[in-house]
Amino acid sequence: MNGINEALLHPGVGTGAVIAVLGYAVVFLGLVMLLAVVAVMGKVMASRRKAAPAAAPAAPEAPAPAPVEKPKAKGTAGELKLYNVSERDAALVMAIVAHKLGKPVNELRFRSIKEVEEK
């Protein structure tokens, strides 16, 4: 037959069992090795990210200019701290609160939003 291993055309029950176990093991082994590769890749990327800001201040010898603070958007009332909440969820929460209070968001001040774990 075209493209078929004739020797394994009719494997017995024992051979079939061995192939099944071996196949599952190969899939696991392949993905465990891939896991190691991806984990190493993640570590390398993380270390590069950490090294980049650390290396940056060492370069200029001249006194660094005073940091220029970016002007805040109109109506902004300081920084909002998020704890275990995505920006999207935070925006939703703020919009809902503003709607319930009947006030525009820029007249409210949110200091922080934290997800409360249910016990």
| Cβ–Cβ under 8 Å, residues 19 and 11 | yes
Query: For the chain, how long is the longest CA-to-CA vector?
Result: 79
The residue among 39 and 101 lying less far from another protein, judged by its C-beta, is 39
The residue among 43 and 99 lying less far from another protein, judged by its C-beta, is 43
| Cβ–Cβ under 8 Å, residues 113 and 90 | yes
The residue among 34 and 101 lying less far from another protein, judged by its C-beta, is 34
H-run or E-run covering 39: helix 13-58
Spatial separation of the C-alpha atoms in residues 114 and 91, rounded to whole Å:
13
Question: Which single residue is written with the structure tokens 């055309």?
Answer: 9
CB 23 → another protein: shortest distance, Å?
A: 5
Binding site for another protein (CB under 8 A): 1-6, 8-11, 13, 16-17, 19-24, 26-28, 30-35, 37-39, 41-42, 45, 49, 84, 86, 117-118
CB 115 → another protein: shortest distance, Å?
A: 9
The residue among 49 and 111 lying less far from another protein, judged by its C-beta, is 49
